[in-house]
Amino acid sequence: MEIKKIMVVGAGQMGAGIAQTAAEAGFNVMMNDLKPDFVEKGFGIIKKQLARDAEKGRKTEEETEAIINRISCTANLENANDADFVIEAIIESMEAKTALFKKLDHICPSHAILASNTSSLPITEIAAVTKRPESIIGMHFMNPVPVMKLVEVIRGLATSDETFSTVKNLSEKMGKTPVEVNDFPGFVSNRVLLPMINEAVYCIYEGVAAPEAIDEVMKLGMNHPMGPLQLADFIGLDTCLYIMEVLHSGLGDPKYRPCPLLRKYVKAGWLGKKSGRGFYAYE
């Protein structure tokens, strides 16, 4: 199936990044969110990123303008009625995602593929609330989307080969490297990454070392570009906790038990960079 028109639902950092990347690849993109203010804020993120690219000589002003012109903003989900492909990048909540997919299933044309940028939730369960489970798929981008090459493409139980092939080709057209992953909690990326972050939190909790020391060991000893605790702050400690809970409940293994210190920080509102305080303090 040829994809011409894409809608991105959710205009936060991930949604804006996906919209920008799709527009850069030549697609016409509608960016949607619940309120016009949210969409405008997302559009502002895109403009800022493109202006930075132009400043650094990575894009010409003409290219930047063409990309911006391929993006339209809407707070009306009904505008998905002529979309060939919809990807949601809303909050990581099964209740919110299934409610959205029910609406999209009703609004979108029968040929449309509906994708989720979920980082941990089961695609099969999301697909089950629609009448087109064969056309539902996971498309998990990494943050920041315009820079990171990986896309985990996750098949649900009923996802068709045609849907998978279309999304694989779309990922490549967007300049990404698609990796096929089966539908398990956390997929590959977060099933490997989050337990490492959780173990780093346990190292603080048990007094093994200070956050700076733990991050330094992982950067210098394992050649990681960023330590696990600094990365957790960037992801958001609430998001880290949520994914650990999905792993713990979905797989039933005690090795995925979230560290009590992680829970304490989240309850205190120390969510990382976005709240100004996590394992580190931010301006």
CA distance 143 to 13: 8
Give the whole-angstrom CA distance, residue 51 versus residue 57. Answer: 10
Burial of 150 (0-12, 13-18, 19+ CB in 10 A): middle
Strand order in the sheet with 5-9: 71-74, 28-32, 5-9, 85-88, 113-116, 136-141, 150-155, 177-182
User: Catalytic residue among 116, 117, 171, 190, which?
Assistant: 190
Catalytic residue among 24, 88, 92, 152: 152
In one letter, which amino acid is 283?
E
Give the Cβ contact number of residue 119 at 10 Å.
24
Cβ-contact 14, 89 below 8 angstroms: yes
* 119 classed as catalytic: yes
Given the structure tokens 């400690």, which residue do they identify? 237
Residue count (the chain): 283
* Of 24, 92, 120, 140, catalytic: 140
Given the residues 32, 116, 117, 119, select the one marked as catalytic. Answer: 119
93 assigned to active site: no
The reply to whether 245 belongs to the active site is no
Please confirm, yes or no, whether 190 is among the known catalytic residues.
yes
Catalytic site positions: 119, 140, 152, 190
